[in-house]
Amino acid sequence: MIKIITDSASDFEVHEYEKLDVVCIPLCVSFGNAEYQETINLTKDEFYELLESTNDFPRTAQPSPYTLECILQKEMEADNETIIITLSSGFSGFYQNTVMVKEQLGYNACYVIDSKTGTGGLRILVEQAVKLRDAGKSAREIVSEIEALKSKIALYACMDTLEYLHRGGRISNAAYTVGNLTHIKPILEISKEGLVKIVAKMMGMRKGMSYLIKRLETRESDEKYPLYVMFTGDRTNGEILAGRLNEKGYIVPNERIINVGAAIGSHIGPNACGIVYVEKE
């Protein structure tokens, strides 16, 4: 049997993991001395409530090597092949630690894929792996296709606030002050190397959304794969962006408007919105 495993940065809801028969390994989030596990004792809504109500900056952490060892040991003893698709190694050490644990166990039927993306991008890869598994593809065939697909993922997001980049030490006090005064909305991209880059700075959320739509029009999407709209916390900007995309002929049903969890949300803050899709060759 082939088991698909991912982490909670893939931003499915709990019932979706169950429906897809995907094992989710929760990432850890802490506010001060309070520690949580995504999908276990912290929902996305609860995360954003804490984010906006506490002065503690959230810290995210990968699962412990012991947790990984227990999960992989169980699958190895069941004689299952496993495919693990992780959050980008540019955000977390989860990929490297998973490879280390797999090698320590001598689990040769375990394949670990560094997604080089997160949130909706990771979700697209997991969904495609599930489709291939259900179509009867071998583990090696699935890995080969997902490795090729991940380089075609395009993800852009418009941030509503500079507060969390500032609190996380990613921008200077001067840049934070000027940005707030001028209502600058940074545009983020997850690069092909799996790193977050600021690729533009727009004046206001409406212009930020226009930039996202223009990128989609410039780098056309492959209609064989879903187009997702992402939001952080408050769904409003996600719905506005989806409405504007619908007007342009890009149909985004409600189930493809997804809330971003703590792995990415802790760095970009609430009220952001974004798009993720597979680029056409």
The pLDDT tens digits for 245-254 are 999 999 999 9
Mean pLDDT of the chain: 92
The pair of structure tokens assigned to 40 is 């276990």
Scanning the chain, the segments in alpha helix (DSSP H) are 14-20, 44-53, 65-77, 94-105, 119-134, 139-149, 163-167, 173-182, 205-218, 236-247, 262-268
For the chain, the domains span 2-151, 153-278
- Sheet containing 228-231, strands listed edge to edge, beginning at the edge strand earlier in sequence: 196-203, 184-190, 153-158, 273-278, 228-231, 257-259
Give dist(CA 39, CA 163) in Å, integer: 26
Q: Tell which residue, 211, 259, 214, 209, has the closest CA to residue 235.
A: 259
3-state secondary structure of 272: coil
The secondary structure of the chain in percent helix, strand, coil, rounded to multiples of 5, reads 45, 25, 30
pLDDT value of residue 214: 96
* pLDDT reported for residue 165: 66
The CATH architecture assigned to 153-278 reads 2-Layer Sandwich (3.30)
Q: Which of 62 and 171 is assigned the larger pLDDT?
A: 62
Please, which pLDDT band fits residue 255 given cuts at 50, 70 and 90? Answer: very high
pLDDT, one tens digit per residue, over 39-73 is: 999 999 999 999 989 888 898 898 999 999 999 99
Looking at residue 56, the DSSP 8-state letter turns out to be: S
Residues 6+ apart with CB under 8 A from 184: 162, 178, 201, 202, 203
pLDDT(160) > 50: yes
Hey, what amino acid is at 69? E
Q: How confident is the model at residue 190 (pLDDT cuts 50, 70, 90)?
A: very high
CA-based radius of gyration for the chain: 19
Structure confidence at residue 233 (pLDDT) = 95
Question: Where residue 175 falls among pLDDT bands split at 50, 70, 90?
Answer: low
Region 2-151: CATH code: 3.40.50.10170
pLDDT on residue 281: 82
**Above 70 in pLDDT, residue 29?**
yes
Q: Which residue has the higher pLDDT, 228 or 177?
A: 228
Phi then psi for 4, rounded to 5 degrees?
-100, 130
Is residue 166 very low, low, confident or very high in pLDDT (cuts 50, 70, 90)?
low
Is residue 178 over pLDDT 60? no
Model confidence at 164, pLDDT cuts 50, 70, 90, reads: low
pLDDT reading at 85 higher than 90: yes
Of 29-33, 55-59, 144-148, the range with the lowest mean pLDDT is: 55-59
Quote the tokens at residue 216: 């989609």
In the predicted structure, residue 173 carries a pLDDT above the cut 70: no
**What percentage of the chain has pLDDT greater than the value 70?**
93
pLDDT at 171 over 90: no
Q: Retrieve residue 273's tokens.
A: 């919105």
Average pLDDT of 139-162? Answer: 95
Provide the pLDDT for residue 174.
44
**Cα–Cα nearest to 266, from 233, 217, 238, 226:** 233
**What are the structure tokens assigned to 65, written together?**
């090597």
Helix (H, G, I), strand (E, B) or coil at 203: strand
